[in-house]
Amino acid sequence: KLEIHDYLESTNTYLMKKISSGHAHASCVVANLQTNGRGRRGRTWQAGLGASLTFSLLWRFQCGAAALSGLSLAVGISLIRALHHFGITQAQLKWPNDILIGREKLAGILIELQGDMEGPSTAVIGVGINLNLSTKIKQQIDQPAIDLASAAPQTINPNELLGVLLNHLAEVLRSFELQGFTSLRDEWTKHHAYHQQQVRMLLPDGREILGVVQGITEDGNLLVETTSGLQKFASGEISLRGVV
Ligand code: ATP
């Protein structure tokens, strides 16, 4: 089921409200304009009319929220596969779930969950991909950002992009349901922009930990070699940044 709205505050907010009224599995909601797009932890996704493809997908799982820890990484793989389909082979992942070109952000993913830890549970998977950012929008974004208009070898029809991406999402989500993140881990690592790179881990209390990325665990945590040894970071409250 595909719903297309001229504008919504946020496609995630809209679908989260629909979960309890029995909205169908695999419903997708697209907004041509999001007036209050959201990122993680109260941050904002900046968009304008035609500036980005923004949509959310509702996916019901038999398993509980506890088993979904690698889900946002899995979703990142479907974006990479779709972008490769359109020849954007330079797109990479940034743990846990951003898409970069070079060191500039092309797309973001926001996953919100509802349900019991033991199951069943429902995920609302929100995606924003920059199509064509105006200078004004770029100025409102507090990190380097890029769009498909400048990164793609040819003009990409956003409807086609959505179709290809939904197919990849369905395939990846089915595989994730059966095998968890394990079967996707090697592919994820291959596309990680910061694999074996020096990074800063920004902690919620304002501290920073420096280290070198060693890999990803089977539940999607990041392994970093630090001065105190190998440390494991869960995505919840941590932000990863490169060291220039
Ligand atoms: P992390 O996920 O590593 O904690 P993040 O800063 O990318 O870091 P998210 O919550 O994933 O955080 O995304 C929100 C952030 O994305 C905003 O705070 C802003 O820096 C950036 N951002 C907002 N709009 C856009 C956009 N259209 N294109 C690229 N980046 C954007």
Q: In testing the pocket of ligand 1, which one of 10, 45, 79 has its CB within 8 Å of the most ligand atoms?
A: 45
Q: Is the pLDDT of residue 153 over 90?
A: no
Q: How far is CA 83 from the centre of its chain?
A: 13
User: Does ligand 1 come within 6 angstroms of the Cβ of 43?
Assistant: yes
Q: Is 10 helix (H, G, I), strand (E, B) or coil?
A: coil
Q: Dihedral of CA 103/73/24/35: which sign?
A: negative
Number of domains in the chain: 2
Q: Give per-residue pLDDT as tens, 82-132.
A: 999 999 999 999 999 999 999 999 999 999 999 887 879 999 999 999 999
* Cβ of residue 40 lying under 6 Å from some atom of ligand 1: yes
Residues 176 and 207 in one domain: no
Residues 8 and 31 in one domain: yes
87 and 34 part of one domain: yes
Q: What is the pTM of this model?
A: 0.95
Residues spanned by the domain of 214: 198-242
What radius of gyration do the chain's Cα atoms show? 17
Answer yes or no: are the C-beta atoms of 123 and 71 closer than 8 Å: yes
Provide mean pLDDT across the span 144-168.
96
* 214 & 105 share domain: no
Q: Is 228 found in the same domain as 173?
A: no
For residue 12, is pLDDT > 90?
A: yes
Any residues with CB less than 8 A from the CB of 32 and at least 6 apart, and which? 4, 5, 6, 7, 49, 50
Is the shortest distance between the CB of 52 and ligand 1 below 6 Å? yes
Question: CB of 38 closer than 6 A to ligand 1?
Answer: no
CATH number of the domain where residue 171 is located: 3.30.930.10
Do 84 and 205 belong together in one domain?
Answer: no
The single residue of 81, 94, 105, 185 carrying the catalytic annotation is 105
Residue 200: which residues within 8 A CB-CB, separation 6 or more? 208, 209, 210, 240, 241, 242, 243
For a pocket test of ligand 1, which of 143, 147, 224 has the largest count of ligand atoms closer than 8 A to its C-beta? 143
CB-ligand 1 contact for 69 (6 Å cutoff):
no
Atom of ligand 1 nearest to the CA of 51: 27
Residues 153 and 226 in one domain: no
Average predicted confidence (pLDDT) for the chain:
94
